[in-house]
Amino acid sequence: MKVFYLVLALLSFSIQAQVGIGTTTPSPASMLEISSESSDGGFRGLMPPRVSTLAALNDIASRATLADIGLVVFYNEEGVERCLKMWDGIQFKNVYCLSTSSESATVSFTTARQTILENSGGIPLSFSIENPSPFNSLVLTVSASDYTHLVQNGPVTITVSRSYDSFTTSSAFSYLDNTAIQGNSNIVFTIESIAGGDGTPQIGSQNTHTLGVIDDDQKLWINEFRYENTGSDITADEFVEVAGNALDVSGYQIVHYNGSNGTIIKAVALSGAIPNQQAGYGTMKIPLNMQNGPDGIALVDPLGNVMQFLSYEGSFTATTGPAAGMTATDIGVSMPGDVPIGYSLKLIGTGNAYADFDWDGPDTQSPGVINSGQTFN
């Protein structure tokens, strides 16, 4: 009889006891308590059973009955959903879904504009992504305002991998180089739509990006200038003239350099188009107060590349600005102090590029007009 009571007492203890993992004092209200603190001093979580395919989830459902209400599983299929699910006796219902809980991603172009020299090759496009999805990639549809000089002939899709908050691609669009003289141009890329991510992705406020293309076939050169006169210096009479294709020259610059120390005296931005005065070529006057030499003039393209660096009354090396480290080429003619008003140094000859002409003067000036003794062909 004593043995019977002892066995009964042991069974009673087993039925009423609580189990603790990581703790010796489990809550009396729980059958099982798991502590987050491990024996190594770190902390851990509870990982529910996971399935990554619909077939696996359906397999569990085929075995579950009404008696299994409350059965929990985490469904984790990439590109579909990430949901904690509970069996309601008939089917699995979502308890909480990661794919619908985070904020929608917002995609914008990183910059509003870039400028490149006309050349064949990939065009770098950069995007910034706010609230990127940690689970799903994004697919952007981007169009161009003009496909004439692109390898592509229509909108393209760009895939941004999950969790990226910035992304750059040089393979989505490629430029086609050519030898035609067509002038500088702009291509506007636009984010048309976005798919994927979490929830409904949004197009950011910076949804366009302008690509400025500098035509490397366009011809432009320094054609004439005046820097001195008899008596007191009359700055209103001083100028630099450029010549070239009858195209827009906005973005180019004339930079006047001081030959004594190689620093910049003044930079003047060009704007507007050169008129067609002869055979598709013409001239443009740029007012500029120019001191005696040795000084220099640099013609700079919109990318900051020096197209010409000329000097008068001697040569020197620039120390600052776009021509830093470059030595100017002396044009070989100059304006002595007794030259009257209305005279300049200018190119003469026949052709359609700087190398076709020679410097001459002082001679009667003609700012904004083809020089006497000069023919464009």
For 315-350, b/e burial (b = at least 16 CB within 10 A) is: bbebeebbbeebebebbeebbeeebeeebbbbbeee
pLDDT of amino acid 83: 83
DSSP per-residue string spanning 1-23: -HHHHHHHHHHHHHHH--EEES-
pLDDT of amino acid 296: 95
Taking alpha carbons only, the member of 348, 318, 314, 319 closest to residue 331 is 314
pLDDT digits (tens, 9 = 90+) for 178-202: 888 888 889 999 999 999 987 789 9
Residues facing 115 on adjacent strands: 212
Cα torsion angle, 351, 355, 357, 363, sign? positive
Q: Calculate mean pLDDT across residues 19-25.
A: 81
pTM over 0.85: no
Cα torsion angle, 150, 152, 155, 160, sign? negative
Cis peptide before 294 (omega within 30 of 0): yes
Residue 10 has pLDDT above 80, yes or no: no
Question: Is the pLDDT higher at 209 or at 132?
Answer: 209
pLDDT digits (tens, 9 = 90+) for 65-75: 999 999 999 88
pLDDT of amino acid 229: 58
CB 265 within 8 A of CB 295: yes
Residue 357 has pLDDT above 70, yes or no: yes
Report the range of poorest mean pLDDT among 203-217, 218-232, 291-305, 351-365: 218-232
Q: What span, in angstroms and rounded, lies between the C-alpha atoms of 105 and 139?
A: 11
**14 confidence band (pLDDT: 50, 70, 90):** very low
Mean pLDDT of the chain: 88
For 275-305, b/e burial (b = at least 16 CB within 10 A) is: eebeebbbbbbbebebeebbbbbbbbbbeee
Q: Calculate mean pLDDT across residues 42-52.
A: 86
CB 357 within 8 A of CB 349: yes
Question: Is the pLDDT higher at 264 or at 93?
Answer: 264
Residue 348 has pLDDT above 70, yes or no: yes
By CB atoms closer than 10 A (0-12, 13-18, 19+), residue 141 is middle
CB 306 within 8 A of CB 288: no
Q: Residue 166: which residues within 8 A CB-CB, separation 6 or more? A: 110, 126, 127, 128, 129
pLDDT of amino acid 234: 55
pLDDT of amino acid 235: 55
